[in-house]
């Protein structure tokens, strides 16, 4: 008994309480480190890994992420507009390593939910008490002719990095008077205001360098996030430059591309743009599908309180891959969900019932230098479901002053600095 610490005592008592309170046949027991494996090192996964150790440094946390660096999708539209360098979006995992997260740069290839084991492409496997899956998105084949090869000439730029640079360089190379076409995806998708902020950032560049050019957005939706505010901003800064075509006007938006010929087609017409940005329809990231965590929607159903999969116990899915509505698929929401899931995982591995969750989200969009708009919301749990807090949140007012929007622009950049520190610092 000489090594029987106070912590062990708490674990034992806690786990005993948990059997009755939670009804989960935990685990616990004194001795043996609790293990959590986190798959995916984006906003959700990296935050979760960090916050688990913040709450309980005794847990062994392994983060599995193929890339040595992460490029944030948020603010990558400023790279396309030219006001930001791609390197400013680049973050390493050194901060997490220093905190004690075991970072493994490899791809997770399978999760055995029954054996509680994650396998990576090298063949190595990691056992866990709880697993957090944060793989982001993958693309659906909803546009004929659009594949990985086509993405080399018609970038999606919906995962930041080389794709972002490619789209930027295509804008720089195009002639004045050319047309840029954005194919916007159907709901639900990563970063709902993203395509429309992107149109702003592209127009900002074109207005100053190629003012005869036009931007055509062919949407797969009939309405979009912050639509009134974006429409105002397009008029305010880029009158006549941006045309948005709703899905019902083309019977569903872009259906086909020919990457070699450089053409983009709807059911009704074919375009030959100077620059084509195809943002395909989306589903959960690959490992979530491989591990059987998705349902017929292509996304992962979860319990609102803990983000534990309702398909496989012991696995929590956070970020874009989860069915988290009314929370949006945003980097900030993923960060917020990660904190809720991390707290729940720490409670569960220690045999405690998870506490009440709380979430927040603010999505800023930079419509021009010194001009920012936002949508914000606070969320809580009502009858076991994630809900918007009544009376809270909402949009930048339509009659906001330039001074207000100057401040939102500054707060947007402050958010970038703070949330990236929160995720990777």
Q: Is 353 among the residues that bind another protein (CB under 8 A)?
A: yes
Element (H, E) at 284: strand 282-284
Comparing CB distances to another protein, the nearer of 14 and 262 is 14
Dist. CA 269–CA 274, nearest whole Å: 16
Which one of residues 66, 92, 392, 402 is an interface residue with another protein (CB under 8 A)? 392
Which one of residues 78, 197, 371, 408 is an interface residue with another protein (CB under 8 A)? 408
**What part of residues 253-292 is at the interface with another protein (CB under 8 A)?**
none
Q: Residue 400 CB, nearest distance to another protein (Å)?
A: 8
SS3 state at 418: helix
Q: Give the closest residue to 39 by CA, choosing from 52, 50, 49, 26.
A: 49
Comparing CB distances to another protein, the nearer of 13 and 115 is 13
Q: Is 30 among the residues that bind another protein (CB under 8 A)?
A: no
Answer positive or negative: Cα dihedral of 327, 328, 330, 332.
Answer: negative
CB contact at 8 A, 294 and 282: no
Comparing CB distances to another protein, the nearer of 3 and 401 is 401
Dist. CA 192–CA 210, nearest whole Å: 27
- DSSP class of residue 389 equals P
Q: Is 72 among the residues that bind another protein (CB under 8 A)?
A: no
Q: Residue 391 CB, nearest distance to another protein (Å)?
A: 5
Find the Cα–Cα–Cα–Cα dihedral 245, 246, 249, 253, rounded to 10°: 90
Q: Is 177 among the residues that bind another protein (CB under 8 A)?
A: no
Q: Is 421 among the residues that bind another protein (CB under 8 A)?
A: yes
Q: Is 51 among the residues that bind another protein (CB under 8 A)?
A: yes
**What part of residues 287-346 is at the interface with another protein (CB under 8 A)?**
332, 335-336, 339-340, 343
Answer positive or negative: Cα dihedral of 402, 404, 406, 412.
Answer: negative
Q: Is 88 among the residues that bind another protein (CB under 8 A)?
A: no
Dist. CA 139–CA 141, nearest whole Å: 7
Dist. CA 229–CA 397, nearest whole Å: 8
Q: Residue 32 CB, nearest distance to another protein (Å)?
A: 20
Q: Give the closest residue to 365 by CA, choosing from 376, 377, 378.
A: 376
Comparing CB distances to another protein, the nearer of 14 and 110 is 14
Q: Is 29 among the residues that bind another protein (CB under 8 A)?
A: no
Q: In this structure, are strands 125-127 and 130-133 parallel, antiparallel, or unpaired?
A: unpaired
Which one of residues 5, 10, 152, 261 is an interface residue with another protein (CB under 8 A)? 10
Residues contacting residue 96 through CB under 8 Å, at least 6 positions apart = 41, 46, 49, 50, 63, 103, 424
Comparing CB distances to another protein, the nearer of 217 and 377 is 377
Comparing CB distances to another protein, the nearer of 301 and 393 is 393
Residues 9-38 as b or e (16 or more Cβ within 10 Å = b): eebeebbeebeeebeeebbbeeeeebbbbb
Comparing CB distances to another protein, the nearer of 206 and 333 is 333
Comparing CB distances to another protein, the nearer of 74 and 93 is 74
Q: Is 378 among the residues that bind another protein (CB under 8 A)?
A: yes
**Residues interacting with another protein, by CB under 8 A?**
10, 13-14, 17-18, 20-21, 51, 55, 332, 335-336, 339-340, 343, 352-353, 355-360, 362, 374, 376-380, 389, 391-394, 396, 400, 404, 407-408, 410-411, 413-415, 417-419, 421-422, 425
């Amino acid at each position: 008994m000489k090594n029987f610490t106070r912590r062990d005592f708490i674990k034992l008592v806690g786990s005993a309480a948990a059997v009755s309170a939670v009804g989960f046949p935990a685990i616990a027991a004194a001795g043996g480190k609790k293990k959590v494996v986190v798959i995916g090192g984006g906003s959700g996964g990296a935050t979760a890994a960090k916050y688990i150790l913040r709450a309980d440094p005794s847990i062994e946390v392994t983060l599995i992420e193929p890339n040595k660096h992460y490029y944030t999708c948020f603010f990558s539209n400023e790279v396309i507009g030219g006001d930001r360098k791609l390197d400013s979006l680049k973050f390493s995992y050194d901060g997490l390593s220093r905190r004690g997260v075991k970072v493994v740069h490899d791809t997770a290839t399978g999760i055995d939910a029954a054996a509680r084991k994650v396998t990576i492409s090298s063949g190595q496997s990691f056992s866990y008490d709880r697993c957090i899956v944060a793989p982001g998105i993958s693309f659906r084949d909803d546009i004929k002719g659009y594949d990985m090869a086509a993405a080399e000439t018609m970038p999606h730029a919906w995962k930041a990095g080389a794709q972002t640079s490619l789209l930027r360089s295509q804008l720089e190379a195009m002639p004045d008077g050319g047309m840029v076409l954005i194919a916007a995806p159907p709901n639900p998708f990563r970063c709902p205001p993203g395509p429309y902020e992107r149109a702003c950032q592209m127009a900002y560049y074109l207005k100053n360098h190629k003012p005869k050019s036009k931007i055509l957005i062919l949407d797969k939706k009939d309405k979009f996030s912050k639509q009134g505010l974006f429409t105002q901003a397009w008029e305010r800064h880029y009158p006549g430059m941006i045309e948005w075509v709703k899905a019902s006007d083309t019977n569903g938006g872009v259906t086909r591309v020919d990457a070699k010929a450089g053409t983009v087609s709807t059911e009704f017409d074919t375009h030959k743009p100077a620059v084509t940005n195809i943002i395909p329809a989306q589903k959960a990231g690959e490992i979530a599908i491989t591990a059987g965590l998705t349902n017929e929607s292509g996304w992962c159903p979860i319990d609102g309180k803990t983000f534990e999969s309702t398909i496989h116990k012991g696995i929590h899915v956070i970020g874009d891959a989860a069915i988290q509505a009314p929370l949006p698929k945003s980097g900030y929401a993923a960060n917020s969900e990660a904190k809720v899931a991390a707290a729940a995982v720490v409670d569960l591995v220690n045999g405690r019932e998870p506490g009440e969750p709380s979430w927040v989200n603010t999505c800023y969009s930079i419509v021009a230098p010194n001009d920012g708009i936002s949508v914000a919301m606070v969320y809580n749990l009502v009858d076991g479901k994630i809900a918007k807090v009544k009376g809270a949140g909402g949009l930048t007012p339509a009659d906001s002053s330039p001074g207000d929007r100057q401040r939102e622009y500054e707060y947007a950049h402050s958010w970038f600095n703070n949330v990236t520190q929160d995720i990777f610092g």
